[in-house]
Amino acid sequence: MMDFGIGSLILVLCITCLILFTVWSENSKRKEMPPGPTPLPLLGNFLQLDLNAMPQSLLKLAKIYGDVFTVYLGSRRVVIVHGCDAVKEALIDKADVFSKRGRIPVAELLFKDFGVIFSNGERWKQLRRFSLTTLRNFGMGKKSLEEHIQEEAQYLRDEFSKRKGFPCDPNYFLTLAVSNMICSIVFGERFEYDDKKFLGLLAMLKEIFGVLNSGIGQLLNSFPKLLKFIPGSHQKIYGNLSSLKQFVMQKVKEHQGTLDQNCPRDFIDCFLIKMEEEKGNPNTEFIFENLFITVLNLFFAGTETTSTTLRHSLRLMLKCPDIQAKVQKEIDVVVGPDRCPSLDDRSKMPYTEAVIHEIQRYSDIVPLGLPHAAAETTNFRGYTIPKDTTVFVFLSSVLKDPKYFRNPTKFDPGHFINDKGEFQKNEAFLPFSAGRRVCLGEGMARMEIFLFLTFILQNFSLESDEDPSDIDITPLPFKIRFVPR
């Protein structure tokens, strides 16, 4: 018994020494890194973070540790860059270092570094260059896409008109309308709002997006291999992804059967033509897996964020009827009642432009953006950031930076209007991020938000059974009465 006691004591002492050595070793590594809360083994800083309110948790830590600080998500070391000045310094002044896409374990598990958003190096360069060129050729920033949006806006108007002023949830129709813009570019067609395959596709995308942005999504990102085998809502992702792949590949087969090399109809045609051109290149990035994942990337980037922004737009117009009335007055003067709003009108509508910018700033749809990484060990603001360290640029802290916005927590279009009543840009307006990894679909999203919102307000007054002062700006479902003007 005595021998067993001594043996156990020695074992405990060895384990204690091992833990102390590990902590000391980690502390030594962290010495020159940005400061931050002390992590626990395996858990990291999860006890100091609210997984369902991550931006608020990080804001609290920024007040303690400053504009550059370190947190551990499980065993993953992450540097947070906070505030407009620090973010722009990282993404623009040090673009060579911080333009690398950071690791997203759950994305690696699902997409294996394929596609345009999560890739790096030559794959990312080739796919981004191709995607930008193709989107431009099929209308991003051109008249053809503007006409597509104007046409879709009329379908949207017809759906709202059918409600005859009775309350309805607009989110469903907004998502369908925005998704059809991506479909017109990727598949060369739009879908009817009651098309079952189309509705199923959107439901699966929405479910994946919802899981990834939830608390369980944060855990899945920190412990992907472990949670893959644990039951829960996150398991739906794998089945949904498989179904989405079948849908896209069916569309690809249809395109292969009708492809005209001299007259590409859409993104898929262009990709197939590029695949044929490079079939003799063993290192080509134009392969089916990159086609499938890039199509999914476009849907994720172009559907959920834009439709969510439009939903916030309508909610804010309900809460601020005086602002709604001013926008409608400007629409009436510049556009009138008999034609669709156009992009040419935007420069003549400074108040509307200011309101839309403030909607995007205030809504803060993607508070952390997608992760970046240090391409090399670098010194940033006096701290050492080791190579491959994940770096999150805290976009929410930019959009609500008190140095650049006098009332950062208040919805105020005056943030973008000068003393003469003219629209005024603000350098802290970075809802699409900045630098080389700026959102691929920024131009398209800006067109959609302007044209859809102005067309809706041209045709309807937005009303609610709630008192405006009681309206809470949250992602929860809500109903609007679209009253014809």
String of DSSP letters for 14-83? HHHHHHHHHHHHHHHHHTTSPP-PPPBTTTBTGGG--GGGHHHHHHHHHHHH-SEEEEEETTEEEEEEES
Q: Which two tokens stand for residue 483?
A: 């009253």
The three-state secondary structure class of 254 is helix
Domain containing 240 — which CATH number?
Answer: 1.10.630.10
CA dihedral sign, ordered 461, 346, 179, 255? positive
Provide the whole-model pTM. 0.88
Burial category of 376 from C-beta neighbours within 10 Å (exposed 0-12, middle 13-18, buried 19 and up): exposed
Containing structural domain, residue 437? 35-484
Q: Quick check: is 228 in a domain?
A: yes
Q: Which two tokens stand for residue 354?
A: 């200011």
Inter-axis angle of helices 236-258 and 196-212, to 10 degrees? Answer: 140
Q: In degrees rounded to 5, what are phi and psi of residue 455?
A: -65, -40
Amino acid at 54: M
The three-state secondary structure class of 467 is coil
CA distance 239 to 198: 17
Q: What pLDDT, on a 0 to 100 scale, did the predictor assign at position 86?
A: 98
Q: Quick check: is 8 in a domain?
A: no
Identify whether the C-beta of residue 68 lies closer than 8 Å to the C-beta of residue 34. yes
Q: Tell how far CA 33 is from the center of its chain.
A: 28
CA distance 401 to 59: 11
Amino acid at 85: D
pLDDT tens-digit map of 372-387: 999 999 999 999 999 9
CA distance 341 to 334: 9
Amino acid at 138: F
Q: Quick check: is 327 in a domain?
A: yes
Q: Quick check: is 23 in a domain?
A: no
Q: Quick check: is 214 in a domain?
A: yes
Q: In degrees rounded to 5, what are phi and psi of residue 411?
A: -80, 110
Q: Per DSSP, what are the bridge partners of residue 297? A: none
> Based on the structure, what is the number of domains in the chain?
1
Q: What pLDDT, on a 0 to 100 scale, did the predictor assign at position 236?
A: 81
Q: Quick check: is 141 in a domain?
A: yes
Q: What pLDDT, on a 0 to 100 scale, did the predictor assign at position 220?
A: 77
Q: Quick check: is 12 in a domain?
A: no
CA distance 241 to 205: 8
CA dihedral sign, ordered 92, 96, 100, 102? negative
Residues of the chain with pLDDT under 50: 1-4, 28
Q: What angle do CA 392, 396, 399 make, to 5 degrees?
A: 125
Q: What pLDDT, on a 0 to 100 scale, did the predictor assign at position 15?
A: 67
Q: Per DSSP, what are the bridge partners of residue 44? A: 40, 73
Identify whether the C-beta of residue 190 lies closer than 8 Å to the C-beta of residue 147. no
CA distance 446 to 453: 11
Q: Tell how far CA 280 is from the center of its chain.
A: 36
DSSP assignment string, 73-138: ETTEEEEEEESHHHHHIIIIITHHHH-EEPP-HHHHHHHTT-SSSS--HHHHHHHHHHHHHHHHHT
Q: Quick check: is 21 in a domain?
A: no
Q: Which two tokens stand for residue 281?
A: 């290149």
